[in-house]
Amino acid sequence: MVKLYACTRNMKRPHYRIESRLLAKGVGPVAGVDEAGRGPLAGPVAAAAVILDKRKLPRGVNDSKALDVEAREEVYEDIMSRALAVSVAFGAVGEIDTINIRQATFAAMRRACAGLSLRPAYILIDGCDFPDRLACPGEAIVKGDAKCMSIAAASIVAKVTRDRLMRRLADHHPAYGFERHSGYATEFHVAAIAKNGPSPFHRMSFSPFRAAAE
């Protein structure tokens, strides 16, 4: 445990005060929502919705980007064992190419919220956009994954789930090294695309594919 939290012990971590204020007003359950994978050249975008238990808050929760791989995996397991409800959904590559990454992300968020086993009364989402057609009211919080524990927990669940999926895709398409970069535009990945062409899991609406088509 000491090793797990060593990288974040001196950082400010997300807190549960936003959720506590809502619950004190009788507004609950409260779900945190975040996404992973808007920027990569390959793979789906993932969205997670998490309802934490105020009596059993997970340990070590932080913005997923502030945790290394080992820490994310351990905190993920703690979230999954302590949360009241967790749901993950995806926006597929075909959906991203058809309706764009922003709308595919919103669609994944709607699915994640709808998939919760416990219906939320309020939703907290990372960012500055709040998707329409969600199951209940809520708000978007800029840099919410660094401020709000429920959003940070969702960021970890979305990131870990998506990374695991990309590792499975790597078994079927080993030339691209998805297990190394999760589809992001690393030098290795770009070189692999140049050598092998795109796979069925590459986002053809993204540069460099769109530019090549044009």
Tell me the DSSP string of 148-191. Answer: BHHHHHHHHHHHHHHHHHHHHHHHH-GGG-HHHHTT---HHHHH
What's residue 4's pLDDT? 41
Q: Which residues contact 68 (CB under 8 A, 6 or more apart)?
A: 7
Residue 134: per-residue pLDDT: 93
> Burial, 116: exposed, middle or buried (Cβ in 10 Å; 0-12, 13-18, 19+)?
buried
For residue 7, name the pLDDT band (cuts at 50, 70, 90): very low
Domains with residue ranges and CATH for the chain: 2-213 (3.30.420.10)
pLDDT 10s digits, 108-145: 999 999 999 999 999 999 999 999 999 899 999 999 99
Q: What is the pTM of this model?
A: 0.91
Q: Coil, strand or helix: which one is 140?
A: strand
In angstroms, rounded to a whole number, what is the distance separating the alpha carbons of residues 185 and 35? 18
Preceding peptide of 29 cis, ω within 30°:
yes
- Local confidence band at 16 (pLDDT 50, 70, 90 cut-offs): very high
Average pLDDT, integer, range 53-64:
95
The pLDDT value recorded for residue 212 is 54
Does residue 89 carry a pLDDT above 70? yes
> Locate tokens 């779900």: which residue?
31
Can you give the pLDDT at residue 117? 97
The string of DSSP codes covering 15-81 is: BSHHHHHHHHTT---EEEEEEE-SS-SBS-EEEEEEE--TTSPPSS---GGGS-HHHHHHHHHHHHH
Split at pLDDT 50, 70, 90, the class of 3 is very low
